[in-house]
């Protein structure tokens, strides 16, 4: 009973601390010089049609430069046009286009590692994820539930905030362990509790090569953003 109370207090603290950090995040800086990723065919065609480009190419390279308020431009296939030549409705869609490649960033050999930290915006936790936004902080999302072992069922509540649950360890097979777990995820951090379902296995007490027996406890995990494969884990049993 005492262990269960400690687990509840622990998860409550994790939940409150996680959401407290959401409101401390600064507003994301607006990108003013960027290339539009070709992920919206209709928008790309409408932009080119408005500029009398025939035939329009839905995969054209479009670069937008809004840095100088007096000389804003849009480049399509390396041909420069005044941004004001685009109708106001399309200009608004271009400015708010979500899939941008920031051309003001300095790119070097270390950028693939460091830019992950720069891109983390806790304010975006309140936005639902898209299929193009799976990252180390969203790697827990998984619509499939495996009964004994394998990947966890991962449900996103609000993008980087979500829950996962599973029966068995990620590496166990059928009837190998009595473990079950429930986890809370936020920005690549996982905190959760685990317990046991003894009816799932038949414990082998002699010459035991297959059973991994769990009691109750808690665990922490952090996914280092280097390809989404480096993890730091702490697992603690509350009972012997």
Distances, alpha carbon 203 to alpha carbons 114, 149, 197, 215, in Å: 47, 17, 12, 13
The pLDDT value given to residue 27: 42
Q: pTM for this one?
A: 0.46
Average of per-residue pLDDT values in the chain = 78
Greater confidence (213 vs 3) lies with 213
The torsion angle over the Cα atoms of residues 64, 83, 80 and 35, rounded to 10 degrees, is 10
Confidence of residue 202 (pLDDT cuts 50, 70, 90): confident
* Cα–Cα dist 13/36, whole Å: 41
Model pLDDT, residue 200: 77
177, 201 in Cβ contact below 8 A?
Answer: yes
* pLDDT mean over 143-162: 84
CA angle, residues 88, 93, 96, in degrees to nearest 5: 125
Across the range 130-155, mean pLDDT stands at 74
Does the structure show a pLDDT above 70 at 167? yes
**Res 12: pLDDT:** 64
What is the tens place of the pLDDT at every residue in 12-53? 655 555 544 444 433 446 889 999 998 889 999 999 999 999
- Cβ atoms 166, 180 nearer than 8 A: yes
Does the pLDDT at position 157 exceed 70?
A: yes
d(CA 120, CA 26): 11
Q: What average pLDDT does this structure show over 197-222?
A: 81
Tokens of 24: 């401390």
Give the model confidence (pLDDT) of 175-192 as tens digits.
888 899 999 988 778 999
Instruction: Inform me whether the pLDDT recorded for 6 exceeds 90.
Output: no
Give the pLDDT score at 92. 94
Determine the pLDDT at residue 62. 95
């Amino acid at each position: 009973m005492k262990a269960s109370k400690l687990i509840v207090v622990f998860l409550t603290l994790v939940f409150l601390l996680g959401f407290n950090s959401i409101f401390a995040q600064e507003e994301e800086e607006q990108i003013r010089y960027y290339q539009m990723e070709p992920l919206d065919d209709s928008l790309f065609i409408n932009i080119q049609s408005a500029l009398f480009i025939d035939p329009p190419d839905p995969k054209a390279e479009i670069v937008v430069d809004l840095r100088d308020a007096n000389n804003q431009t849009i480049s399509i296939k390396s041909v420069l046009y005044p941004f004001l030549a685009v109708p106001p409705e399309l200009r608004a869609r271009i400015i708010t286009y979500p899939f941008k490649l920031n051309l003001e960033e300095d790119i070097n050999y270390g950028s693939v590692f460091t830019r992950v930290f720069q891109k983390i915006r806790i304010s975006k936790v309140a936005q639902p994820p898209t299929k193009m936004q799976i990252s180390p902080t969203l790697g827990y999302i998984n619509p499939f539930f495996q009964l004994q072992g394998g990947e966890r069922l991962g449900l996103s509540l609000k993008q980087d905030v979500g829950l996962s649950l599973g029966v068995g360890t990620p590496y166990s097979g059928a009837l190998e362990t009595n473990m079950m777990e429930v986890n809370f995820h936020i920005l690549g951090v996982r905190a959760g509790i685990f317990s046991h379902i003894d009816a799932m296995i038949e414990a082998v007490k002699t010459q035991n090569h297959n059973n991994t027996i769990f009691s109750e406890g808690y665990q922490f995990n952090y996914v280092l953003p280097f390809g989404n494969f480096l993890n730091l884990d702490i697992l603690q049993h509350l009972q012997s």
